[in-house]
Amino acid sequence: MLEAANKASATIIKSVFHKFSPQGVTGVVVVAESHLAIHTWPEHNYAAVDFFTCNEKMDYSAAHEVLKNGLNAQRVSSRKVSRGTEVNIETKNN
């Protein structure tokens, strides 16, 4: 996850990972641009990864490749979800 964040040109602030017994990991990498999170279920050969960011210039494909290779993934599905596009932020002068 840290290598993926680095390859995407994210600014890493902090990371926390928890290993479950007997297997599985949950972790988050907090980046200046938002966060990356992972949850694994080795008993099902499954991992879910979220890459939440507000920086369109990040290299998502590089992060994707790092994670795909690092997890030795045989199948990968991904989707991009745009969030916040419907938000109308007004500034008020007091």
Residue 91 domain-assigned (yes or no)? no
Residue 71 domain-assigned (yes or no)? no
Residues 6+ apart with CB under 8 A from 48: 38, 39, 40
Q: Residue 18's domain spans which residues?
A: 2-57
- Residue 25: burial class (beta carbons within 10 Å; 0-12, 13-18, 19+): middle
Structure tokens at 23: 């297997």
| Residue 34 appears among annotated catalytic residues | yes
pLDDT score for 17: 97
| Residue 18 appears among annotated catalytic residues | no
pLDDT in tens, 21-78: 999 999 999 999 889 999 999 999 999 999 888 877 888 889 999 999 999 999 998 8
Would the pTM count as exceeding 0.85? no
From the list 21, 35, 44, 54, the catalytic residue is 54
Residues 6+ apart with CB under 8 A from 50: 35, 36, 37, 38
| Residue 64 appears among annotated catalytic residues | no
From the list 9, 15, 21, 34, the catalytic residue is 34
Q: What is the CATH classification number for the domain harbouring 53? A: 3.60.90.10
Pairwise CA distance, residues 57 & 80, whole Å: 14
Q: How many domains is the chain built from?
A: 1
pLDDT over threshold 70, residue 5: yes
